[in-house]
Amino acid sequence: MKVNVNNLRKKTAICLNTVIRKLNNNIDNSGTINIEADEIKEQIDSLSSLVMGLCCVYIPDNDDFKDISEEVNIEEFNPSMDETEY
pLDDT 10s digits, 4-19 = 999 999 999 999 999 9
| Domain count of the fold of the chain | 1
pLDDT 10s digits, 50-63 = 999 999 999 999 99
Q: 40: domain range?
A: 5-85
pTM of this structure: 0.82
CA dist 60 and 7 (Å) reads 20
pLDDT 10s digits, 27-40 = 999 999 999 999 99
Give residue 13's region: left, alpha or beta (phi > 0; psi -120 to 50). alpha
Which has more confidence, 82 or 22?
22
